């Protein structure tokens, strides 16, 4: 199984600051079609998860461009520029390249 290691487990940031979350996979996430199926999700408190970014760097519909994703192969980063209060919650990376599909353990973002 592909293990997704997310760091840090939690972080506290002030409004307007920038923050990065790392996600490393135990295997390359490049599929046979050449695409990389690594996605980022946000679960706001009491809500269902929502996809922010798909295939490493593509912004989901309606997602502010303060969010950006980078990376390749086994090493990926989510960056949030100019954090806003609504960004609090738990961020997950998820891979859909290999079965079984797996998720990172989550990064809890708190606002100072």
Q: Residue 38 and residue 24: Cα distance in Å, rounded?
A: 10
Q: For binding to other proteins (CB under 8 A), which residues are involved?
A: 37, 39, 41, 48-51, 54-55, 60-61, 92, 94, 96, 99-106
Min separation Cβ 87 and other proteins, Å? 18
Min separation Cβ 36 and other proteins, Å? 12
> Which CB atom, from 87 or from 97, has the smaller least distance to other proteins?
97
> Which CB atom, from 17 or from 47, has the smaller least distance to other proteins?
47
> Which CB atom, from 35 or from 82, has the smaller least distance to other proteins?
35
> Which CB atom, from 69 or from 104, has the smaller least distance to other proteins?
104
* 14 class by beta-carbon count within 10 Å (0-12 exposed, 13-18 middle, 19+ buried): exposed
Using an 8 Å Cβ cutoff, are 27 and 74 in contact? yes
Token reading at 27: 């295997």
**Is there a cis peptide before residue 24, judged by omega within 30 degrees of 0?**
no
Min separation Cβ 17 and other proteins, Å? 25
Min separation Cβ 100 and other proteins, Å? 4
Token reading at 58: 């593509």
Using an 8 Å Cβ cutoff, are 91 and 106 in contact? yes
């Amino acid at each position: 199984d592909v293990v997704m290691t997310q760091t840090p487990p939690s972080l506290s940031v002030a409004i307007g600051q920038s923050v990065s979350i790392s996600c490393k996979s135990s295997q390359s996430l490049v599929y046979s079609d050449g695409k990389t199926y690594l996605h980022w999700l946000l679960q706001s408190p009491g809500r269902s998860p929502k996809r922010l970014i798909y295939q490493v760097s593509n912004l989901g519909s309606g997602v502010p461009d303060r969010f950006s994703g980078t990376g390749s192969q086994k090493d990926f980063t989510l960056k949030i520029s100019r954090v806003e209060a609504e960004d609090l919650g738990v961020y997950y990376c998820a891979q859909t390249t290999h079965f079984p599909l797996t998720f990172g353990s989550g990064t809890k973002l708190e606002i100072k």
